Amino acid sequence: MPTNVSPTPKLDLPVRPRRLRRTAALRALVQETSVGAADLIAPLFVVEGRAAPEEIASMPGQFRLSVPDLVKECRTLWKLGVKGVALFPKLDPKLKDAEGTEELNEDGLILRAVRAVKKAVPELVVITDVALDPYANHGHDGVLNTEGDDVDNDRTVARLAAMAVRQARAGVDFVAPSDMMDGRVGAIRAALDAAGFCETAILAYAVKFNSAYYGPFRDAVGSAQAAGTKLLSKATYQLNPANRREALAEALLDEDEGADILMVKPAGAYLDIIRDVRERSDKPLAAYQVSGEYAQIHAAARLGWLNLERTRDESLLAIKRAGADLILTYFAKDVAAALAK
């Protein structure tokens, strides 16, 4: 080795950002964003009967649960520090029709599930979906017009308002209209208040894009598209993924109509929209890390292309850093369990 090599001169740098990255303790002290169990809401799927949990093929680690198993899962999540769940029914296709009339059943699956969960874990925040797609044989979020070629906005809004009241009567903490009909948040707020449910809150799917990332969810709830039947595009009511200004306008409309929490869906591909809404609204902001986001991380991990835990955690940090206060994610249980260790 040469002995005449001069030592490398020190750079005259008054600012060295790496000083704060030198040790794990230093990095932790200056970390700007964190994700805790209380920031997460777990979406759960419920089915009739008492059969063993059925894993959803396109969503590894996610199951369709009977009501008793749903209650057990909610108890586990609560013990892990997860404060909220969002419930979605998977109905027998025989119960579905064009009008989604099974939703009118006062002893229907989702209402029984809500009552069971609130009885078992009363402090757990329970959120229910307000839309007709799990109940309608055409898979749309509302009832169709007389021509059958589009969703009838105003007739759908009337159905959703009544649906929200039934869910409130069952004991939910939040109703969550996911349909993207014009005026539905205001109509639901008025209906809840008129029925005496002033304390029932609205988590609005304020910005829901017509996204390709919903495929595994439609498999999970057995929608018409997942079953391979003909389905009209949802582009007439869900947002065009190309439109940023329109997304912000939709969010502010829902705020004006009385939404308590605004939500952007999907999350990962729409971090700019989350930031836009965060900068324009002081309402709590949620983001839904949807089934396709969850599935693609699992798929890449199974192929050995990505580290599951690191990618999972980084994806959630990105959503939180963009401005979300709350994240609906199928990773909720795993993340909460990891944080509890």
54 token code pair? 């059925």
Mean pLDDT for the stretch of residues 194-209:
98
Band (pLDDT 50/70/90 cuts) for residue 227 is very low
Q: Residue 297 pLDDT more than 90?
A: yes
Mean pLDDT for the stretch of residues 2-17:
84
Q: Residue 76 pLDDT more than 50?
A: yes
In this structure, are residues 207 and 264 in contact, taking their beta carbons and an 8 Å threshold?
yes
11 token code pair? 């750079």
- Condensed to tens digits (0 to 9), the pLDDT of residues 159-201 reads 999 999 999 999 999 999 999 999 999 999 999 999 999 999 9
The upper half-sphere exposure of residue 262, i.e. CA atoms within 13 Å in the direction of its Cβ, equals 30
Q: Tokens 């969960």 belong to which residue?
A: 117
The closest of 307, 253, 316, 314 to 287, measured between CA atoms, is 316
Question: What pLDDT shows up at residue 220?
Answer: 87
Question: What pLDDT shows up at residue 187?
Answer: 98
Question: What pLDDT shows up at residue 226?
Answer: 44
Helix or strand (DSSP H, E) at 95:
none
Residue 25, in any domain of the structure: no
Q: Tokens 């929200």 belong to which residue?
A: 164
In this structure, are residues 50 and 338 in contact, taking their beta carbons and an 8 Å threshold?
no
Q: Residue 224 pLDDT more than 60?
A: no
In this structure, are residues 167 and 106 in contact, taking their beta carbons and an 8 Å threshold?
no
3-class secondary-structure state, position 2: coil
Catalytic center residues? 208, 265
Band (pLDDT 50/70/90 cuts) for residue 148 is confident
Q: Domain range holding 276?
A: 34-340
Residue 195 class from Cβ within 10 Å (0-12 exposed, 13-18 middle, 19+ buried)? Answer: middle
Residue 2, in any domain of the structure: no
Question: What pLDDT shows up at residue 313?
Answer: 98
- CATH code for the domain in which residue 280 is found: 3.20.20.70
Residue 213, in any domain of the structure: yes
In the chain, the DSSP E strands lie at: 40-46, 54-55, 63-65, 84-89, 125-130, 174-177, 201-208, 261-265, 285-289, 326-329
Residue 203, in any domain of the structure: yes
Kindly report the length of the chain. Answer: 341
162 token code pair? 């009544």
Q: Total domain count for the chain?
A: 1
